[in-house]
Amino acid sequence: MDTSTIVTLVILAVLIGYAILIYNSLVALKHAVSQAWSNIDVLLKQRHDELPKLVETCKQYMKHERETLERVMQARSAVHDAQARGDVGGLGEAEGVLRLGLGQLFAVAEAYPDLKANESFRQLQTRISALENSIADRREFYNAAVNNNNVRIEQFPDLIIARLLNFKAAELLEFSEAEKADVNLGSLFG
């Protein structure tokens, strides 16, 4: 073999090796997004299972607050539906509504001293609040994984491999503006 053939083969081997490294790192990023989503999914299911217990406990005390309780259960259903469809955007919106409803439910519960004193209610409130904090933490990890994935599939030369092998951008999990708004406590007790 002559020198130019050897140089060509070495360059070709380096390019193939580099393409394999890019591919493997893109696969790792894709699976990091899936793993981060799975972590959120587990927490959402746990909270999904706790909410009916909370609403049932509240029903015993909150005879005049049916609308608040119904909103929480409707929002729970919307979260479950979006989760089942894998609709990240819809899930974010439904999560915002659910979190707002839970905030209102806990605020309304302040007007019921017997409910606040109920051991089951206190345990459920603590458990759901802990799950909410965990979901927020996991959402951060998920969005970081999505961002890493999306940046890499748009960077050169990674975008060449990403386009050739059909790597797709993932969707950030963002909650609705309703969740970010302050709860008007006056309207809850007025």
- Over residues 121-131, the pLDDT tens digits come to 889 889 998 99
Q: For residues 118 and 51, give the distance between their C-alpha atoms in angstroms, rounded to a whole number.
A: 16
- In a domain? residue 125: yes
- Over residues 5-45, the pLDDT tens digits come to 999 999 999 999 999 999 999 999 999 999 999 999 999 99
For residues 125 and 119, the answer to whether their CB atoms sit within 8 Å is no
Q: Check the CA dihedral 73-79-83-86 and report its sign.
A: positive
Q: For residues 134 and 140, give the distance between their C-alpha atoms in angstroms, rounded to a whole number.
A: 10
CATH of the domain at 144: 1.20.1440.20
For residues 83 and 91, the answer to whether their CB atoms sit within 8 Å is yes
User: What's the pLDDT score for residue 70?
Assistant: 85
User: What's the pLDDT score for residue 182?
Assistant: 45
User: What's the pLDDT score for residue 56?
Assistant: 85
- In a domain? residue 48: yes
Burial class (CB in 10 A: 0-12, 13-18, 19+), 64: exposed
| pTM as predicted | 0.75
Domain that holds residue 145: 14-189
- In a domain? residue 3: no
**DSSP secondary structure code for residue 61 in this structure:** T
For residues 47 and 128, the answer to whether their CB atoms sit within 8 Å is yes
Q: How confident is the model at residue 55 (pLDDT cuts 50, 70, 90)?
A: confident
Instruction: Count other C-beta atoms under 10 Å from residue 131's C-beta.
Output: 18
- Over residues 63-115, the pLDDT tens digits come to 767 788 888 889 899 998 988 888 888 888 888 888 888 888 888 888 888 88
Degrees, nearest 5: CA angle 80-85-89: 85
Q: What does 75-118 look like in DSSP terms, one character per residue?
A: HHHHHHHHHHHT-HHHHHHHHHHHHHHHHHHHHHHTT-HHHHH-
If one counts the domains in the chain, the total is 1
- In a domain? residue 4: no
Element (H, E) at 177: helix 177-180
- In a domain? residue 9: no
- In a domain? residue 6: no
- Over residues 145-189, the pLDDT tens digits come to 999 999 999 999 999 999 999 999 999 988 765 444 444 434 433
Helices (H), 110-152: 113-117, 119-152
